Structure formats: C-alpha cells, structure tokens
A and B are shown apart, each in its own frame.
Chain A
C-alpha cells in the first residue's frame, strides 16, 4: 500500500523526488536487501538503480552536470534508502560528503576535474580520517604528508574506511606539520586517486552489520601525490574543511536513524494488529499501544529534527548544533525503536527470516560512526555556550 514516503517534507519538488525513491525502495530494495546482507555481497544492481536515478549527483551543482537538490531533499532520500537498507544510505554518504567538500573548498581545477565525474557512476568517493590511535580525537592522527619538490609524500595507517576498496578518490586527512599548535593548523586534506603508487588497500573488516558495503584499512607507504592534490590548494585548512563536510555526514546518519526506525515501526504496527494473544490482537493490549505510541512519537521527533537541521543548512545558516542534535537523537531512538519492535514481534523477532534482526545489527553503527553520541553532546554543548555568553 502506498504510504506517504515524503512525510514532513515541505518543498514540493523534494516531495516528488523522495516519493519516487520511496517507490523504488519498496519494489527493489526491501525484497532483496536481506539476501545481499546475509551474503555480505556488494549490491551492484541496487547501486545501478541509484545511479540510474541520478542519486550520486544529488548535491553536485548543475554546472557540473549534477542536480543541486536541497539538503531537505537529500535527508528525505537517505531516510528512504535506509528504510530499505541502511548500507545504501552509507554508500552514498561519503560520496556526497566528499563532493560537498570539493565543491565548497576545492580549487577551480579540482572542481572541474572531479565534480562531473562524481555525477556519473565512474567515480565514487571515500573519506579517511580514522586511524588505529585516533578516532573521536581526529587531531591526534599520525599520518604525515611531507613536501618533496612539487609533490607530497604520504605515510601512515588508516582504519575503518567506508567504500575503502571501490572508491575512485579518497579524501585523506594528514598532518603536514605534526608540531603545529593548535594541532588543527598542521592538518591538511588530500584528494588521493585510487591508483596512486604507494597507496595500498588493506583488509576488509568483518562487521556486525552495515554489510554489503566494504569498510577497510588503508596504508600509505611513501605514496606520492602532486601538490595540486591538496584540497583547496593550501596547507593547514584540512581539519576545518573536513569538519564542515562532516555536518553533511551527520544529516545523512540522522536520516539513516529515522529510516531504520521507520522500517522497524512499520513492521511492528502491522504485526500488532494481526497477532493475537489472550483472545485479541496484541494491539488491543494497552501495554502495546503505549509502546507503539512512544515509538511513533520518537520517530516523528527525529524526523523533524533532521529536516530542521537540513533546512538550516539549505538556508546557509550555521547548523553544527542542529545536525549534532539530529544525529544524536535519531540514532539513539533508532536503537530503542528497533528493540521495541522486537519486543512486539515476540519470538519471531529473533529469527533471521524477518528483517528486524538486520535493523538490530545495523542500528548500533549509527551511534558510533560520524562522531559518537558522546562527541555529538560535546559539539552541542560547545554550541550552547556560544549562544549563551555571560
């Protein structure tokens, strides 16, 4: 049955886009996702569908052949993708985020070279910050980039890189000045093509969930890139550029939380009306009504927070506080809603026939990646004191 996939979206065009993506998810993703997921298989046909629709160019400006749709629209699209399978919204995340960084901060040549390629399926992007000894504290990275004539030589180890094997270009956070104080002034981001000599793709992690898409190690062993690979052309701005792009990532992950929670709720409210216990549908037991009411309220609040953050970003306003709140809340409630949906399903929830077990394994990723919930709270608190000067 057709439901309103574009609930709470204000812009009519965004509604049309999201509704169409919702129909695609319903027909192509939901019936097939668990099979790809259980096999941990890269969902090539689904990626083709996303690419045919034009989703990879969703945030690229029209002058480079993209669609330049709003963040509100992008958030709605990510909710729908995640309603089908969280991994799909993950594959598109670093791609959109790196495209955003190139468009906002890249040199004219970088934009001209990369952006048209990012619209087409030929090139996807990865973002590489995390290292064995630096995650939340990104400024503690140890990967270095040393100037050598017209080139830079990169050395270091990276961890947990989504799209790590299949990307065409990697936005890599390095230190060009490890002694700099404050530390972020020594951080520089590079656009590293996949076939750079000395750039080695390492092992793929075996994950609890978030399957299908590969998350890998990377290593740089005297990897040589030209100075023109520095994002924006000058050293020392990498931290700022990447943190700004991560706001786009937080909108994406917030939307993923909404999508996964929505999928778990949709199953629960239908099941509760069909399943009978003690002579009536379990929905008629007040305990279940209260549970479902809370689940729906949490999802609605998460949805509205996410669209609010996206609309602020569309309006060009500062949105770190809003994106942080949306990411924190959506991902935390996603876990709660998934577990509540399992309670409502009883024993069948624990089997692998239903997609619930997948939602249950996918949900915890979102409270960790793109900044843990603790880090979101720190971002929120810092913005709050900024807004309450004494």
Chain B
C-alpha cells in the first residue's frame, strides 16, 4: 500500500500560559522565547498507523508531507526516524498566512504530484487551532472518501475497516480506497524511534516544494485569498469566582447548591 502521512509542527501545547502571547494587531501568535515547536501530538499516531499497515502488508511505502516553515523539517525527520520512507516539505513565504482550506488544497496538490496514494493518514486535529478540518478538506480536494477520528484501522472489507471514536461509543465503518483517514489518540502509543532509524533519517534528503512547484498561483494562496478571514485574535480573559455554600447539614448545603444551580440555569 502506498501511504502518505501529513504531519504538522506546532507551538508546544505545554507552553506555560504566562509565555503564550498574541500580537492582536497582526493577528498572530508570537512564538514563545526559548520554547521549541513540537510535532502535533496526534501526528505520530497517524505515522504509527501507516507503519503498522505497511508492516502488516509486508511492503509498501510511507511518505510524509509537512507544510510549514523550515523548522518543520524536524517534524518530518521525526516521522522518518519512526520508520517512514520519504519526506516532502511544502515551504513557501506565500504559505505564511493561509487558512485551513488553502492548507488542505496545497497538501492535496502535493499528494497528486507524488502520484497519489492508496491512503492518506493525518492526525484528528492539530493541537494549536484544534479545528480538525484539514483531513476533510484534503478528502474533498482529492475527491475521495474521508473517515475521521479513527481508533483502529485494518485492511479488509471494501478496502479498510475503521473503528471511529464517538462521544458515547464507537462506530465501525468500511471505506473503499483511496481514502483519507484521520487518527485519534485512542489509536495507541506511537513507537519510539530506534537509534538506527534516527541515523538513517539523518541521511535522507527531504524534498522541498514551493507554491509554484504545486501549480498554485498567487491568486490561490496567502492572506488575501483566505476563504475564512481571521477577524480578531486575542487571549480571552478567564474570570473565576468562589462561593462557599453555607448550611448546617450536608443535606441543607446540597439543597442550597441545587437552588443556586437552577437559578443560574445550569441544571
């Protein structure tokens, strides 16, 4: 099976709140000083899924794509160190201010340029903006089915059997290939890179493609062409209050609490 995994580099989600700052005028997150970006935590799970499918198949190829700045090579290198075969970085100044739809479109163009894939795997969402729409966007751009939030994937049925995570349970579906599947944390722990794989990954060259290489014109990428313009970006102020419920007995306190919750229309 020919599998493509899309991975993303994001600001460290564990950045302490005090170090997280946005430039409200520029509508941008200011990179925190001294805190290196990391691989989006869901993405190694997508890579893990790809590697397990390849291993179960006894062959095939896993290619990683990342759209991002030069430092996103580290995200690619991590997937290569886990065992992926090849990497492509989509890097262009024009990609600096794009929205999810443009990202999905650029990824789809890269997938086509690679000759397509039997399966495209992605994380269920990226932990920075946490929207989870890029997998669907890639599926739409490639005109193939999309299955989101997978916790288990195996070959079989119409092509793949996928178990999805729902709010209140699981759902088993079959999907024909080619398809896009987004992988959730319930999939299981990704493997740690072996030192030998890290050494091999260091020797691999990562191809770099810009907008022009993907056939994307100036009217298709960039802030001016966002389908979803960003209106404002700010850190919300969280206010919290503590109220001690008075009462002589636990029952009395519970009754007072229930009345207050009802009054606040919380129950």
Please list the residues of chain A having a beta carbon within 8 angstroms of any beta carbon in chain B.
Answer: 1-2, 4, 12-13, 16-17, 20, 23-24, 49, 52-55, 58, 67, 69
Contacts and interface: CB of A to CB of B under 8 A. Distances in A.
A53 B192 contact: yes
A53 B202 contact: no
A252 B43 CA distance: 35
Contacts of A53: 192-195
A58 B198 CA distance: 12
B192 A49 contact: yes
Contact of A54 (B12, B14, B196): B196
A13 B193 CA distance: 13
A67 B192 contact: no
Interface in B151-210: 192-196, 198-199, 201-202
Nearest to B32: A1
B8 interface: no
A55 B195 CA distance: 7
Contact of A13 (B35, B38, B192, B199): B199
Given A2-B36, A16-B201, A53-B194, 12 more contacts: A1-B12, A1-B14, A2-B35, A2-B38, A13-B199, A17-B198, A20-B192, A24-B192, A52-B192, A52-B194, A53-B193, A53-B195
Which of B15, B81, B194 counts the most A-chain CB atoms under 10 A from its CB?
Answer: B194
B77 interface: yes
A20 B12 contact: no
20 contacts: A1-B12, A1-B16, A1-B35, A2-B12, A12-B202, A13-B198, A13-B199, A13-B202, A16-B77, A17-B195, A20-B81, A20-B195, A23-B192, A49-B192, A53-B192, A53-B194, A53-B195, A54-B195, A67-B196, A67-B199
Contact of A58 (B14, B16, B77, B195): B195
A20 B198 contact: yes
A293 B193 CA distance: 35
A1 B202 contact: no
Nearest to A69: B195
Contact of A1 (B15, B196, B199): B15
Contacts of A67: 195-196, 199
**10 closest A-B pairs by CB:** A54-B195, A1-B14, A13-B202, A16-B198, A20-B193, A54-B194, A24-B192, A2-B38, A67-B195, A2-B12
